[in-house]
Amino acid sequence: MKKILFSIFLSLSICVNLFAQEKEKIKTDFEFFNWSSLSYTFGLNDVILNEKLNSLHLKTVFGFATPKTGFGIGLENATFRNPNSSSGASFNTLSFSGNLHQ
């Protein structure tokens, strides 16, 4: 009976050790990531030329990363419009960004 209990205990401790070693391995493969956001801003307190511009922003960032390092590029499109008149300010912007983190 003691041999059986000892062998069960020994096999369980070996399994736990192997499982713990498996969890400690650091992933080195780059994985793809993507992040997107959409925001709308009301120009309620805008004081420049009393335009009160509303803006719509669409931003996406994508790249490759590991738990320790990664790189990505971002793209943002913004549209600014005056909701009060068709002859008011209206313009679009397109911006790019890049990042590298470690």
Residue 14, phi then psi, degrees to nearest 5: -65, -40
47 phi-psi bin (left φ>0, alpha ψ -120 to 50, beta other): alpha
From the number of C-beta atoms within 10 Å of its C-beta (0-12, 13-18, 19+), residue 50 rates as exposed
Per-residue pLDDT of the chain (102 residues; tens, 9 = 90+): 666 766 776 666 665 655 554 555 566 688 898 989 998 887 766 666 666 778 888 999 899 988 888 889 999 998 888 777 666 677 888 999 998 887
Q: What is the pLDDT of residue 100?
A: 86
* Predicted TM-score (pTM) above 0.85: no
Strands laid side by side in the 31-41 sheet: 31-41, 54-65, 70-81, 90-101
